């Protein structure tokens, strides 16, 4: 019924996939950092900090990502002064170690920001659950050994919390890849956007969306495989001790 | 056990349903008593939501009403953006598409078109003083609508331009206003309609050049020859008895917010 | 911002053009979310029970199918059910049904895993006790395992349903007039108030999700607690023994 896509269109899809992967990686790094900060804030000693972190998590977990992205792209853009918007929209490049690093488009920045803020709330919850999952006895034992709270946290509690949170954390990374498809609504040329473009020009709906679907599933499968390998290695390393 | 019975039911249902023969679409519409039409909901004055009644109104909607009245059936409108027009038609969600649908040979392979009922050129909208001639376009970031001929034409004629495609014209305009793009491209009349409702329209302008000339027709599912013939006859009739002129004046006449002289009449091009 | 503009558009945001037109806005979001929640609960229970009880022949393809629905982005699946399935099978699927279908399949896939995990978590002891009492496997499942498993699975069900409410926002992509779609229409018309509109819409979703979270948790744990109570009272030693 419909033939294969011409190489030009396959390249569009490939580029879109590249943007998806880049976006997901950048957002994963930022969201993990932000999420761990948030999780620790929820255990902070000062009540306003705890409440603020809790409120952030509730607000960003219970609103749809689509609405958040539209807010960042269209809403915030009207709030920022025009000079800032001009700077964000002109292409810049910096030469680092012989490579030219280009400042990404505003769509990418807004998409990255939206994804990070959204995923950080979920990752914070996973870390929070991980921290709570460490038995109270561990805290007491560390204190009994004479470790300061900070040392106890760093050497005793944190490694165990990370081990508990690792599988769900990778689950959140898989969600990140899938959620990146929403950035098509703000004009970011990632995989779903590219699939739509190809479909508009060639009308080969099945081929275009089929390739995109396969690529998404491949990306998610890779993350799942990595998750298994990491979990398995950690278990082995603990067993050896 | 549960999943097996469920699967059996689904399979049986799908087999029965796909076996139903294809009746002619015109007969289906008459039998159902409803004409389903896809129109824009955010593109004045072709199709937009009237804040007073929360119903979709516009030039395309008036034509759709005329078609439904001629058939003696009810009109049901499906709001759409440019990218969903063809998918709505090919997946049988609507019977006709009246959404500023440009006639092209590529599209004619997927859908049938009526004779053109509107014509316009592709133009640009930018902040005052930014865009003076077409030569600048290659160096600009230009916003376009996904799924439109405008996007494709822009890419062909100005390959160096950075094109950002949005779901619909108001999104592209919001990006223009925020500075994310420096110009947006659409059919001239749509840009005029858009600008008319903008609160700070004095800051924007539509430079007086076009980069293409397009004809708009009614989108019809492929192979429905009787339906196409009916639409063409109705359109010619509307022109002959002056209704087409009246519809045009209601939205683009001298008393409206978007006055535009009428250059194209139905039947000028077949 | 002029409050009159806001107040004039509020009914449209909440119920769409109803009653002169089809239901839309926040009301339609609720309808979509409730129908998908019900359908995904049914699918999830069926899938989870099948995973727990089936032999390898059924389990492997079932795991693959469930894995597919967990790996595909919701956006892609909505595209498939809305545009492509009708072309393949020549049936006309109205917009609402397509979105509910897509959301239920994905929700059902996630819930199948949770149900399976919940059933396993109840423990082999309960299985064997039930079987040794002469109950058939289905009866053990229905009267012994599921009541206990439901309390364990509650957080997953509630999480999934809250996700569902947020995912209904994606129906916007296929022109279904729920809250995000209607909000975008209003924003397109007013043009200069994106921040206020998207903040308000985010707030509506926040209220919907939080209320759903509380209500669902209460309702599910209440029936779980009632089941526990009846089990406990039945297990009271008969006086005199």
Provide the residue range defining the domain that includes C19: 3-233
The answer to whether B2 contacts C21, with C-beta atoms less than 8 Å apart, is no
Cis amide prior to C19 (ω within 30 degrees): yes
CA–CA dist B189, B257 (Å, integer): 12
Residue C141 tokens read as 């499942």
Q: What is the mean pLDDT of chain A?
A: 84
Q: Residues B79, B33: one domain?
A: yes
For residue C82, the 8-state DSSP code is: I
3-state secondary structure of B206: coil
Residue A78 tokens read as 């009207």
Instruction: Note whether A205 and A6 are within 8 A (CB).
Output: no
The pLDDT of residue A241 is above 50: no
Nearest to B92 by CA among C79, C88, A2, C90: C90
B positions 202-261 inside 8 Å of C (CB): none
Helix or strand (DSSP H, E) at A183: none
CA A182 to mean position of chain CA atoms: 13
Find, in chain B, the residue whose alpha carbon is nearest to that of A77. Answer: B178
Q: Residues B226, B195: one domain?
A: no
- In chain B, the largest separation of any two C-alpha atoms, in whole Å, equals 71
The answer to whether B93 contacts C86, with C-beta atoms less than 8 Å apart, is yes
C137-182 tens-digit pLDDT: 888 888 888 888 887 788 888 888 888 899 999 988 888 888 988 8
Give partners of A (≥3 CB pairs < 8 A): B, C
The pLDDT of residue B73 is above 90: yes
Write the ipTM. 0.81
Q: What is the mean pLDDT of chain B?
A: 86
3-state secondary structure of B80: strand
Name every chain B residue with its beta carbon within 8 A of the beta carbon of A77: 174-175, 178-180
The answer to whether B146 contacts A89, with C-beta atoms less than 8 Å apart, is no
CA–CA dist C112, C17 (Å, integer): 37
Least confident of A208-212, B135-139, B229-233, C80-84: C80-84
CATH architecture of A7-240: Orthogonal Bundle (1.10)
The answer to whether C210 contacts A58, with C-beta atoms less than 8 Å apart, is yes
Least confident of A17-21, A107-111, C151-155: C151-155
Name every chain A residue with its beta carbon within 8 A of the beta carbon of B110: 203
Q: Which of C8, C87, C184 sits opposite B90 (nearest CB)?
A: C87
- In chain C, the largest separation of any two C-alpha atoms, in whole Å, equals 79
Torsion of CA B237, B241, B244, B250, to 10 degrees: -150
Instruction: Note whether C86 and C92 are within 8 A (CB).
Output: yes
CA distance C174 to chain A (A): 12
CA–CA dist A120, A37 (Å, integer): 9
Instruction: Note whether B185 and B122 are within 8 A (CB).
Output: yes
Q: How confident is the model at residue B23 (pLDDT cuts 50, 70, 90)?
A: low
Size of interface B-C (CB pairs under 8 A): 82
CA–CA dist B248, B265 (Å, integer): 10
CA–CA dist C132, C140 (Å, integer): 10
Q: Which of A63, A178, A179 sits opposite C202 (nearest CB)?
A: A63
Nearest to B150 by CA among B179, B175, B125: B125
At residue A149's C-alpha, the angle toward residues A144 and A150, to 5°, is 135
C63-73 core/surface letters (b: 16 or more CB in 10 A; e: else): eeebbebbbbb
For residue C178, the 8-state DSSP code is: B
Q: How confident is the model at residue B184 (pLDDT cuts 50, 70, 90)?
A: very high
> Quick one: A101 exposed, middle or buried, by C-beta within 10 A (0-12, 13-18, 19+)?
exposed
> Where is pLDDT greater, at B119 or A81?
B119
Structural domains counted in chain C: 1
Q: Residues B103, B149: one domain?
A: no
Q: Which pLDDT belongs to residue B59?
A: 93
DSSP state letters, B240-254 = HTTHHHHHHHHHHST
Residue B153 tokens read as 């034409």
The answer to whether C90 contacts B55, with C-beta atoms less than 8 Å apart, is no
Q: Which of B146, B147, B178 sits opposite A77 (nearest CB)?
A: B178
Least confident of A79-93, A140-154, B247-261, C12-26: A79-93
At residue B119's C-alpha, the angle toward residues B116 and B125, to 5°, is 145
CA–CA dist A86, B180 (Å, integer): 8
Substitution target in C71, C109, C170 with the highest count of A β-carbons within 10 Å is C71
Residue B84's CATH number: 3.40.190.10
Check CB contact of C155 with chain A, cutoff 8 Å. Answer: no
Nearest to B64 by CA among B53, B54, B51, B79: B79
Check CB contact of C82 with chain A, cutoff 8 Å. Answer: no
Instruction: Note whether C32 and C100 are within 8 A (CB).
Output: yes
The percentage of chain A sitting over the pLDDT mark of 70, rounded to a whole number, equals 88
Size of interface A-C (CB pairs under 8 A): 98
Residue C174's CATH number: 1.10.3720.10
Q: Residues B77, B143: one domain?
A: no
CA distance A24 to chain B (A): 20
Instruction: Note whether B64 and B35 are within 8 A (CB).
Output: yes
Helix axes A191-202, A205-240, angle to 10 degrees: 160
The pLDDT of residue B208 is above 50: yes
Give partners of B (≥3 CB pairs < 8 A): A, C
Q: Which pLDDT belongs to residue A101?
A: 61
For residue B161, the 8-state DSSP code is: S
Q: How confident is the model at residue B260 (pLDDT cuts 50, 70, 90)?
A: confident
Instruction: Note whether A134 and A157 are within 8 A (CB).
Output: yes
CA distance B167 to chain A (A): 7
Q: Count how many residues are written for chain A.
A: 241
For residue B165, the 8-state DSSP code is: E
**Residue B109: inside a domain, yes or no?**
yes
The pLDDT of residue B43 is above 50: yes
Nearest to B41 by CA among B112, B116, B99: B99
**Residue C208: inside a domain, yes or no?**
yes
Name every chain B residue with its beta carbon within 8 A of the beta carbon of A197: 146, 165
What does the pLDDT profile of chain C (241 residues) look like in tens digits? 567 777 778 888 888 777 777 788 888 998 999 999 999 999 999 998 888 888 888 888 998 999 899 899 999 998 888 877 777 777 777 778 888 999 999 999 989 988 888 888 888 888 889 889 988 888 888 888 888 888 778 888 888 888 889 999 998 888 888 898 888 888 888 877 778 888 888 999 999 898 888 888 787 777 656 656 665 666 555 655 4
Residue found under tokens 């490579």:
A99
Q: Which pLDDT belongs to residue C77?
A: 92
Find, in chain A, the residue whose alpha carbon is nearest to that of B145. Answer: A187
Q: Which of B147, B171, B179 sits opposite A200 (nearest CB)?
A: B147
Q: How confident is the model at residue B14 (pLDDT cuts 50, 70, 90)?
A: low
How large is the average pLDDT for residues A204-222? Answer: 90
CA–CA dist C187, A22 (Å, integer): 31
Q: Residues B182, B71: one domain?
A: no
The pTM of this model reads: 0.82
Domain ranges of chain A: 7-240
Provide the residue range defining the domain that includes B52: 23-117+217-252
Name every chain C residue with its beta carbon within 8 A of the beta carbon of B200: 192
Q: Residues B168, B91: one domain?
A: no
Q: Which pLDDT belongs to residue C107?
A: 92
Torsion of CA A84, A89, A93, A94, to 10 degrees: 20
Strand order, beta sheet including B47-49? B42-43, B47-49, B56-57
Instruction: Note whether A114 and A68 are within 8 A (CB).
Output: yes
Substitution target in B3, B11, B184 with the highest count of C β-carbons within 10 Å is B3
Residue B195 tokens read as 């600008």
The answer to whether A85 contacts B180, with C-beta atoms less than 8 Å apart, is yes
**Residue C239: inside a domain, yes or no?**
no
Nearest to B117 by CA among B128, B103, B104: B103
Using CA of residue C223, residue C229, residue C235, residue C238, what is the dihedral sign? Answer: negative
Q: Residues B74, B140: one domain?
A: no
Check CB contact of A107 with chain B, cutoff 8 Å. Answer: yes
Pairing verdict, β B96-97 and B34-40: parallel
Find, in chain A, the residue whose alpha carbon is nearest to that of B146. Answer: A197
Beta bridge partners of B187: B122
Torsion of CA C2, A72, B165, A6, to 10 degrees: -160
Q: Which pLDDT belongs to residue B20?
A: 47
Q: Which of A78, A185, A201 sits opposite B178 (nearest CB)?
A: A78
Check CB contact of A206 with chain C, cutoff 8 Å. Answer: yes
3-state secondary structure of B101: coil
> What is the number of other CB atoms lying within 10 angstroms of the CB of residue C22?
14
A43-87 tens-digit pLDDT: 888 889 999 999 999 899 899 999 999 888 887 777 777 777 767
How large is the average pLDDT for residues B88-95? Answer: 86
**Residue C240: inside a domain, yes or no?**
no
Structural domains counted in chain B: 2
The pLDDT of residue A91 is above 70: no
The answer to whether A197 contacts B165, with C-beta atoms less than 8 Å apart, is yes
Name every chain C residue with its beta carbon within 8 A of the beta carbon of A67: 169, 180, 183, 198, 201-202, 205
Q: Residues B175, B54: one domain?
A: no
Name every chain A residue with its beta carbon within 8 A of the beta carbon of C75: 181-182, 184, 192
Name every chain C residue with its beta carbon within 8 A of the beta carbon of B177: 191
Torsion of CA C147, C151, C152, C158, to 10 degrees: 120
For residue A75, the 8-state DSSP code is: I
Q: Residues B131, B106: one domain?
A: no
At residue A29's C-alpha, the angle toward residues A25 and A35, to 5°, is 135
3-state secondary structure of C134: coil
Ordered alpha helix ranges (H), C54-94: 56-71, 74-79, 85-89
> Quick one: C160 exposed, middle or buried, by C-beta within 10 A (0-12, 13-18, 19+)?
buried
Q: Which pLDDT belongs to residue B21?
A: 47
For chain C, the residues whose C-beta falls within 8 A of a C-beta of chain B are 8-9, 12, 16-17, 20-21, 46-47, 49-50, 62, 82-84, 86-87, 89-95, 174-175, 177, 181, 184-185, 187-189, 191-192, 194
């Amino acid at each position: 019924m419909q033939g294969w896509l011409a190489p030009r269109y396959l390249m569009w899809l490939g580029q879109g996939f590249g943007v998806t992967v880049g976006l997901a990686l950048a957002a994963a790094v930022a969201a993990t950092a932000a999420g761990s900060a948030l999780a620790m804030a929820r255990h902070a000693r000062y009540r306003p900090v705890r409440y603020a972190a809790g409120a952030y998590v509730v607000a960003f977990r219970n609103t749809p990502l689509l609405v958040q992205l539209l807010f960042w792209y269209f809403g915030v853009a009207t709030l920022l002064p025009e000079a800032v918007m001009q700077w964000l929209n002109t292409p810049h490049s910096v030469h680092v170690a012989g490579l030219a690093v280009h400042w990404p488009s505003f769509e990418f920045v807004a998409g990255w920001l939206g994804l990070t803020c959204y995923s950080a709330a979920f990752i914070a919850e996973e870390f929070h659950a991980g921290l709570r999952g460490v038995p109270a006895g561990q805290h007491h034992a560390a204190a009994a050994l004479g470790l300061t709270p900070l040392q106890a946290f760093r050497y005793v509690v944190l490694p165990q919390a990370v081990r508990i949170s690792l599988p769900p954390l990778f689950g959140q990374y898989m969600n990140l890849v899938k959620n990146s498809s929403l950035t098509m609504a703000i004009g970011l040329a990632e995989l779903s956007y590219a699939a739509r473009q190809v479909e508009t020009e060639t009308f080969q709906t099945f081929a275009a969306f089929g390739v995109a679907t396969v690529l998404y599933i491949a990306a998610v499968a890779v993350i799942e495989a990595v998750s298994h390998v990491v979990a398995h290695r950690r278990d082995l390393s603990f067993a050896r001790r | 056990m549960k999943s097996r019975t469920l699967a059996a039911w689904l399979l049986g249902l799908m087999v029965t349903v796909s076996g139903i023969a294809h009746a002619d679409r015109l007969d289906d519409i008459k039998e159902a008593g409803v004409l389903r039409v896809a129109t824009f909901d955010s593109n004045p004055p072709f199709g937009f939501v009237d804040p007073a009644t929360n119903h979709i109104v516009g030039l395309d909607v008036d034509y759709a009403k005329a078609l439904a009245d001629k058939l003696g059936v009810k009109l049901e409108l499906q709001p759409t953006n440019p990218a969903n027009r063809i998918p709505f038609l090919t997946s049988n969600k609507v019977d006709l598409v009246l959404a500023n649908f440009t006639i092209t040979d590529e599209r004619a392979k997927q859908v049938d078109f009526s004779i053109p009922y509107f014509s316009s050129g592709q133009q640009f909208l930018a902040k005052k003083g930014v865009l003076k001639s077409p030569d600048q376009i290659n160096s600009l970031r230009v916003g376009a609508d996904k799924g439109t001929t405008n996007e494709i034409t822009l890419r062909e004629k100005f390959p160096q331009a950075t094109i950002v495609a949005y779901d619909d014209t108001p999104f592209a305009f919001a990006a223009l206003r925020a500075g994310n793009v420096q110009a947006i491209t659409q059919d001239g009349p749509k840009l005029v309609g858009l600008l008319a409702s903008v609160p700070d329209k004095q800051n924007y302008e539509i430079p007086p050049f076009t980069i293409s000339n397009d004809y708009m027709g009614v989108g019809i599912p492929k192979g429905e020859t009787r339906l196409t013939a009916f639409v063409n006859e109705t359109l010619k009739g509307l022109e002959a008895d002056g209704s087409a002129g009246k519809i045009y004046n209601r939205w683009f006449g001298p008393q409206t917010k978007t006055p535009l002289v009428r250059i194209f009449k139905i039947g000028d091009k077949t | 911002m002029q409050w009159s503009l806001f107040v004039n558009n509020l009914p449209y945001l909440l119920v769409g053009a109803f009653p002169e037109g089809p239901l839309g806005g926040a009301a339609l979001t609720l309808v979509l979310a409730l129908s998908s929640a019900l359908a995904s609960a049914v699918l999830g229970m069926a899938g989870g029970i099948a995973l727990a009880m089936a032999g390898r022949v059924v389990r492997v393809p079932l795991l693959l199918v469930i894995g597919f629905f967990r790996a595909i982005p919701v956006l892609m699946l909505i595209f498939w059910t809305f545009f492509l399935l009708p072309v393949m099978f020549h049936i006309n699927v109205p917009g609402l049904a397509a979105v509910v279908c897509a959301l239920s399949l994905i929700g059902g896939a996630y819930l199948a895993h949770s149900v399976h995990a919940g059933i396993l978590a109840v423990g082999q002891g309960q299985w064997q006790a039930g079987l040794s009492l002469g109950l058939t496997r289905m009866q053990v499942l229905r009267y012994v395992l599921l009541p206990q498993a439901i309390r364990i699975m509650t957080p997953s069900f509630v999480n999934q349903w809250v996700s569902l409410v947020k995912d209904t926002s994606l129906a916007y992509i296929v022109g279904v007039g729920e809250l995000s779609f209607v909000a975008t229409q209003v924003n397109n018309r007013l043009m200069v108030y994106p921040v206020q509109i998207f903040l308000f819409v985010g707030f509506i979703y926040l209220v919907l999700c939080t209320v759903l979270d509380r209500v669902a948790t209460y309702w599910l744990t209440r029936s779980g607690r009632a089941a526990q109570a009846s089990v406990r009272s039945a297990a009271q030693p008969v006086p005199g023994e």
